[in-house]
Amino acid sequence: MTPQGRARPVVTFRWDLDKTYLKTEFERFSKLVRLPFERAADKTHVPGVPELVRGLRRTALARGEEPRVLFLTATPPQMAAAIREKLANDGVEIDGIVFKDQLRLLVRGQLRQIRDHLGYKLDALFESRLAGEARGVELLFGDDWESDPLIYSIYAEWLAGRLAPAELGGLLARIGVPEDTREGLAERAGVALAESGARVERIYIHLERRTPLAGFRAYGPRLLPTFSPLQAAADLFARRRLDDSGLLEVAHAVAAGDGAGGRGLLNLLDDLVRRSALHPGWRARVALRLGRASVGRLERPSWRARVRALGRAPAPGCDDPPLLWESAVTVRDVGRASHRSTPGPGEDGASPAAAGDAEPHSED
């Protein structure tokens, strides 16, 4: 409660686990069979993500908000102990985590549900919201490995009150969700939310597969594809969702974990500006802070860089136009097919940080 006795506003941060938080490798069978036997110490996180999760919670508390950090994964509950220990070792405090009980589905002979991650995740998202576990404004974090862009967008449209049960049922039928799962989801979608003002503020999709950026335009400006947690951190910093300390912690972790030099870090910021995802004024402010902290061996910022950081930096927009589902589903199908090949350096989808180096760099 606030000093005036009013309940604090809630902000919910939802995270996918594999390929978003953890660098899980299940492309090869030899890697896949080892996963159930991994200890917490064997698991590796994406550099910068634990720092981002911790920073978001700390900043929300400083803003007088009640943060909720929730994880959703298709990982079976038999691996829960190792995952919870890994998160605890990373200093990440969570308010809930949902696992997919694939063994139970196997025993029941529900083989289609084992393969259906989209229906499973949507059902878990709906259920946690209707049960009150997730509340307030939501920020969603996923990756391009499976269908997170479409899953999160469907959920956001439902939360905005723009997706009727009948429309949802037809959409799920087209993308192959099993009939019994479709019926349950349509029933949940028809339940009126008791909370007013609920919405998804932003969707961040980590480009693990380096999916071409053009494929995400159908999902609208609410969704931001990112090559690095630093790009998500810069956007969240501009939205006042992440404080200075959180921004620098993420940047230091990315520089150390990915070997990104100063030029590579600035390339990541420039990429956001080129995509009109970050205003040049915010780019200047982020670059100034990275330079002052010598992140990635950046040299101290020049007087020109300091002056630029004093320039206009408007608050990021919150555009939330209705989605064109025909385009979004078509893009999902094309995107899944395009995952057979990965763009090389310089192609659409290749990380802009690849052009950087480890040499000292200054902003003039």
Domain assignment present for residue 234? The answer is no
DSSP string, 201-250: EEEEEE-SS---GGGGGGG-TTEEEESSHHHHHHHHHHTTSS-HHHHHHH
Domain assignment present for residue 193? The answer is yes
Q: How far is CA 113 from CA 27, 47, 105, 194, in A?
A: 20, 32, 7, 30
Cα-Cα-Cα-Cα dihedral sign, residues 126, 142, 9, 83: positive
pLDDT at 346: 43
Cα-Cα-Cα-Cα dihedral sign, residues 239, 240, 241, 244: positive
pLDDT at 364: 59
pLDDT at 341: 44
Comparing CA positions, the residue from 165, 157, 182, 128 lying closest to residue 12 is: 128
pLDDT at 32: 44
Domain assignment present for residue 124? The answer is yes
pLDDT at 239: 96
Quote the number of domains for the chain: 1
Looking at residue 1, its amino acid is: M
Domain assignment present for residue 79? The answer is yes
pLDDT at 340: 45
Predicted confidence (pLDDT) per residue in 202-247, tens digit: 999 999 988 999 889 889 999 999 999 999 999 999 999 999 999 9
**Token pair belonging to 138:** 């939501």
Domain assignment present for residue 347? The answer is yes
**Token pair belonging to 267:** 């390339």
Range of the domain at 105: 10-226+327-352
Model-level pTM?
A: 0.88
Collapsed DSSP state (helix, strand, coil) of residue 24: coil
Q: For residues 354 and 198, give the distance between their C-alpha atoms in angstroms, rounded to a whole number.
A: 38
pLDDT at 112: 60
Interior/surface letters 198-217, b for 16+ CB within 10 angstroms, e for the rest: bebbbbbbbbbbbbbeebbe
Domain assignment present for residue 105? The answer is yes
Phi-psi region of 152 (alpha: psi -120 to 50; beta: other; left: phi over 0): alpha
Domain assignment present for residue 58? The answer is yes
Half-sphere exposure (CA, 13 Å, Cβ side) for 165?
12
Domain assignment present for residue 362? The answer is no
Q: Phi first, then psi: what are they for 287, rounded to 5°?
A: -60, -40
CB-based contacts of 147, cutoff 8 Å, min separation 6? 117, 118, 175, 332, 336
Along the chain (364 residues), what's the average pLDDT of each consecutive run of 10 residues?
72 96 68 61 94 98 98 89 96 95 61 72 94 94 92 93 89 87 89 81 94 90 96 98 98 92 94 95 94 87 72 75 71 52 50 59 60
pLDDT at 156: 94
